[in-house]
Chain A
């Protein structure tokens, strides 16, 4: 149960600045997910928190104490590696007990903790096996068990589920959530998978290019993305972006125009970027965006049509009753005022739709 504060953290490898100044406050007991595309520096940031890399600039505080110079073992953090990094020459039991033995803990206590963690993770029957004799999911659980037995106040996870198949991933996601509820420790979890982020996090921090883009609760990020990147990164299919400009009360662009939302600041004018979630678009004869259907994805209950319009390719959701075929000419329109408005360069959101009364289904790939 610890609070972690990053202020102005920077890290470079050689001449490449990888983490470019991150400020982030992680509350005690929260499940914070760091989300971002691969290569954006998430792992590096996590390793900086763990102490596996030296911080170049800025400060890391845990529970108010400056940690920059503190070696990993004194930070009271445990880390689960993407590759699990289980010791191949040790049994499951030895793997889990390793950290405790090093701390010269009482044997009985070690045994108790290992037993307990094994039970929690359903590893009790596998304790005497070596990592080579385990399946991927089992290894994953051992890696977690190794962290759990130490009862650290902070857990760091680096894409722990990325090597598992879909079904296992769903199951492990549930277990992780259960674990968090049980242990009530601070957990910092790195992933590039938005589903994991949305389902597990109390808060999500979205990164891109070594910079924090936005941090907030999952739905807040979904509904109120701070910039084009966050808007586009969350949600599936991705948010549609179309260039537009405002003239008076209309927003118009290549081959379309629509009324500007009433709550859009009057100051905002000139070139803009509109963000339209596919789920917020409907096929309608009098729609604003017209074009030819290029592809159709049917998911059973509903589906998505990908339409080539003058303003660019646009994805739109349709209900199961609607009949759409490739080659059809259709028109789509936003439902209500479900339009996100960003500055033309996408760096800042200017307006978000008001939250609908009935929650929209959030579609995501798993």
Chain B
């Protein structure tokens, strides 16, 4: 990305104004999350009735005073909920949290990969090939998003039962992969439309097969869209709990959000653990985004002069 004349000479006040605007936006953005942090680090399992989003240090101090034997009393008080959430075990004593984290990672990653492979091929066909029913295909993908999902659960359950995929992570993976497909296909198709066809023709002339063209020319150029869709499908699978809780019948095969939702009972909520769990659950997402963001903004302009 080469710097244009105007950005190079942007006046200082504008730079400052932009940073100010971004900082304010970040603060607004983070404010509700601070509440979750506050929940997570407060020693009590309760939401506090005040407008102050910062952790209640007095409560932490009080807790620390009550447990003088710990090496880092304050820290261990603040992190108590995190410890409780991450060290859950089954009645047989196996590390349940680890197992559920692994389930979540596997389910989300695999469904993202499967979803991406299916979406990428379908989107490419919809963007490039001439065949009957193309418009209809695109529209029906959209149409599938229009019916509220809650009413489809019952029949979905019956179908998975028929396919013998109930109570399996495979079934869950397939459901997640297909439910995020419509978006992924639309997104990728839209992006493929912007990639000049001549690049593919150049590859054809260079002797590339249709598959080679696709893999070595089109896909690298669609990296931003791939990053977006990957993030989307991953999150779609990562935070879902109704289906997971309904389809899976074993604690050891639950995903993390199911475990997390368990902290919200019929009458009472274990706020501390709920908050801590929510924060833990969001860490891998942030990490994934961090890893993907250079592709997100790399794409066609990759390798430009770094500004």
B205 partner, pick from A72, A132, A133, beta carbons under 8 A: A72
Contacts of B199 in A (CB 8 A): 85, 87-88
Contacts of A290 in B (CB 8 A): none
Contacts of A222 in B (CB 8 A): none
- In the bound complex, do residue A77 and residue B303 qualify as a contact, i.e. CB atoms below 8 Å apart? no
Contacts of A146 in B (CB 8 A): 202, 206
A-facing mask of B214-255, CB < 8 A → 1, else 0? Answer: 001100110000000000000000000000000000000000
Contacts of B203 in A (CB 8 A): 87, 98
Tell yes or no: A182 within 8 A of B by CB: no
Cα distance A103–B208 in the bound complex, in angstroms? 9
Q: How far is the CB of A236 from chain B (nearest CB, A)?
A: 31
Tell yes or no: A355 within 8 A of B by CB: no
Cα distance A79–B200 in the bound complex, in angstroms? 12
- In the bound complex, do residue A99 and residue B2 qualify as a contact, i.e. CB atoms below 8 Å apart? no
Tell yes or no: B201 within 8 A of A by CB: yes
**Tally of A-B Cβ pairs under 8 angstroms:** 75
- In the bound complex, do residue A83 and residue B208 qualify as a contact, i.e. CB atoms below 8 Å apart? no
Cα distance A50–B196 in the bound complex, in angstroms? 18
- In the bound complex, do residue A130 and residue B201 qualify as a contact, i.e. CB atoms below 8 Å apart? no
Tell yes or no: A78 within 8 A of B by CB: yes
B-facing mask of A69-83, CB < 8 A → 1, else 0? Answer: 000110001110101
Known interface pairs A102-B206, A146-B206; A81-B304 also in contact (CB < 8 Å):
no
- In the bound complex, do residue B204 and residue A72 qualify as a contact, i.e. CB atoms below 8 Å apart? yes
A-facing mask of B164-208, CB < 8 A → 1, else 0? Answer: 000000000000000000000000000000001011011111111
Q: What DSSP secondary structure best describes chain B's contact surface?
A: helix
Tell yes or no: B20 within 8 A of A by CB: no
Q: Which residue of A lies closest to B206 (CB)?
A: A99
B-facing mask of A98-127, CB < 8 A → 1, else 0? Answer: 110011000000000000000000000000
Contacts of A72 in B (CB 8 A): 204-205, 207
Q: Which residue of A lies closest to B301 (CB)?
A: A132
Tell yes or no: B300 within 8 A of A by CB: yes
- In the bound complex, do residue A89 and residue B196 qualify as a contact, i.e. CB atoms below 8 Å apart? no
Tell yes or no: B212 within 8 A of A by CB: yes
Tell yes or no: A219 within 8 A of B by CB: no
Known interface pairs A83-B196, A99-B206, A99-B207; A132-B201 also in contact (CB < 8 Å):
no
Tally of chain B residues near chain A (CB < 8 A): 25
- In the bound complex, do residue B205 and residue A78 qualify as a contact, i.e. CB atoms below 8 Å apart? yes
Contacts of A102 in B (CB 8 A): 206-208, 212
Contacts of B1 in A (CB 8 A): 132
Q: Which residue of B lies closest to A149 (CB)?
A: B206
Cα distance A73–B201 in the bound complex, in angstroms? 11
Cα distance A73–B203 in the bound complex, in angstroms? 10
Interface centre among B203, B205, B302 (most CB of A within 10 A): B205
Q: Which residue of A lies closest to B198 (CB)?
A: A85
Q: Which residue of B lies closest to A152 (CB)?
A: B205
- In the bound complex, do residue A83 and residue B305 qualify as a contact, i.e. CB atoms below 8 Å apart? no
- In the bound complex, do residue A73 and residue B207 qualify as a contact, i.e. CB atoms below 8 Å apart? yes
- In the bound complex, do residue B304 and residue A133 qualify as a contact, i.e. CB atoms below 8 Å apart? yes
- In the bound complex, do residue B206 and residue A52 qualify as a contact, i.e. CB atoms below 8 Å apart? no
- In the bound complex, do residue A50 and residue B220 qualify as a contact, i.e. CB atoms below 8 Å apart? no
- In the bound complex, do residue B303 and residue A132 qualify as a contact, i.e. CB atoms below 8 Å apart? yes
Q: Which residue of B lies closest to A156 (CB)?
A: B205
Cα distance A98–B302 in the bound complex, in angstroms? 18
Cα distance A173–B221 in the bound complex, in angstroms? 32
Tell yes or no: A150 within 8 A of B by CB: yes
B2 partner, pick from A86, A98, A132, beta carbons under 8 A: A132
Contacts of B196 in A (CB 8 A): 83, 85
9 pairs, A vs B, C-beta closer than 8 Å? A50-B205, A51-B204, A73-B207, A73-B209, A83-B196, A87-B202, A88-B302, A99-B206, A129-B303
Extra contacts, 16 of them, besides A52-B204, A73-B204, A79-B201 (Cβ < 8 A), are A73-B207, A81-B198, A81-B201, A81-B202, A83-B198, A85-B201, A85-B202, A88-B221, A88-B302, A91-B303, A98-B208, A98-B216, A129-B303, A132-B1, A133-B305, A150-B206
Interface residues of B (CB under 8 A from A): 1-2, 196, 198-199, 201-209, 212, 216-217, 220-221, 300-305
